[in-house]
Amino acid sequence: MLHYASGTPANDEFQVVENQLARQRLLSVHPAYFKSVLRWVDDIRAGIVSFDAQLDRTPSLKDKLARADNRRRAELAELGHDPQSWIPYEDALRDLNSRLGSRYPKRIMLDSGAFTDWGKGYSSAIEDVVRSYHSFLDRSQGLFEEIYLINLDVIPGEKAKKGEEPRQPTRAEVTAAIKKSDENFTILKSEFDVPILPVFHQGEPLNRLHEVMDMASGYIGLSPNNDLDEPVREEWALFHNTTAKAFGARCHGLATTGNRMMQIAGLYSGDSTSWKTHSGNGDIDVRWDEPRVADQLGAPPLTPYYRKAHVAIERNEHDGRRALPNNKNHITELAEREQHHVRRRAEHYLPFPMVQLDRRARNIVSLGEIQSVAEDDHALAA
């Protein structure tokens, strides 16, 4: 399954190596994120595709990284670790950059931001989406090999509030959402020459899947319901992807990079923000290739999978000078062989102390590892 790394570009000192790792990106044109997306495109057009090019463009970055090095060494010393184990940011990022080679993701999907607005109780305007899609396409002309636009799909029903049970949309809500989605698709189709992906949502009737396939140019979006349990989402994706493939259509799964989802659903491509969100809690995602017990849906026992490992120092081992109980997934709670595996996988990307102390370093590791599992490619960590 092609892994589309979803999330807004940070446009920071890690951005070049992030670009080198990600073969595909899904970017939202929602107003909250679009300025950062356009800056990311402008940097690529300006040739900022290597770490040294980034330093040449922003000479002050050297001083910024040197100051960050000093802070990290002080943190290590305060926490009882060897400050000399710290490898400077500039050295670590340049090393990873040289191993990856100067490149950036060439397959792009643009998302309308409909889900973001729906989660806040809003609805996106098709005029705004058209304007943003045009802006991206004009700005990025000639940079990418493939660009797909996702329809401004209308999600039926309302997002469940925190603490509430998810409510299934009524038939009338589903019918109204489909009607509006199709109107938006017609507008986008008339505006753009690039492929538009219509979206089929969990909860819509099977005949709707056939309508969506008839609208598409052989590629559709499947949107499992995030409010439902993961096994229910997986079985739904498996059935509808199998049906679509029987009619010659490829499917992109929206928010579909769970292990079993990737193993059993057979999707052509999928995306999620897991590689970014897990790191904020001190975790990295790590690839494993050990035998697993086949589950009830028949996942092959040797299929690669990823699993979170809690590696952050500051969120577990200490709170100031006070020792804290370790997270059950913390690396120190693992068997020695597993600890070695986690460190080895992480260090194929960046030095382990950096991964422990820096959220963005954890982003990089998780991106590489989830993509490796999704595409069954060992990449750097072979």
pLDDT, mean of residues 16-33: 96
Look at residues 348, 323, 346, 321 and name the one whose alpha carbon lies nearest to residue 334: 346
Q: Which domains does the chain have, with CATH numbers?
A: 2-48+103-159+168-272 (3.20.20.105), 274-382 (no CATH)
Q: What is the pLDDT of residue 318?
A: 46
Q: What is the pLDDT of residue 114?
A: 74
Q: What is the pLDDT of residue 322?
A: 46
| pLDDT for 87 beyond 90 | yes
| pLDDT for 325 beyond 60 | no
| 108, β-bridge pairs | 25, 147
pLDDT, mean of residues 235-252: 97
Position with higher pLDDT, 201 vs 301: 201
Average pLDDT over the chain, rounded to an integer = 89
pLDDT, mean of residues 145-162: 84
pLDDT band at 320 (very low <50, low <70, confident <90, very high): very low
Position with higher pLDDT, 147 vs 113: 147
pLDDT band at 254 (very low <50, low <70, confident <90, very high): very high
Q: What is the pLDDT of residue 315?
A: 47
Q: What is the DSSP letter of 317?
A: T
Query: How confident is the model over 27-58, as pLDDT tens digits?
Result: 999 999 999 999 999 999 999 999 999 999 99
pLDDT, mean of residues 357-379: 91
pLDDT, mean of residues 325-341: 83
Q: Are 146 and 24 in contact (CB under 8 A)?
A: no
Q: Give the long-range contacts of residues 10-14, CB within 8 A, separation 24 or more.
A: 10/36, 10/360, 11/36, 11/39, 11/40, 11/43, 12/360, 13/54, 13/61, 13/64, 13/65, 13/89, 13/93, 13/360, 14/93, 14/360, 14/361, 14/363, 14/364
| pLDDT for 354 beyond 80 | yes
| pTM value surpassing 0.85 | yes
Look at residues 352, 339, 344, 337 and name the one whose alpha carbon lies nearest to residue 380: 344
Q: What is the pLDDT of residue 317?
A: 47
Share of the chain residues as helix, strand and coil, in percent rounded to the nearest 5: 50, 15, 35
Query: Measured between alpha carbons, how far is 182 from 174 in angstroms, rounded to an integer?
Result: 12
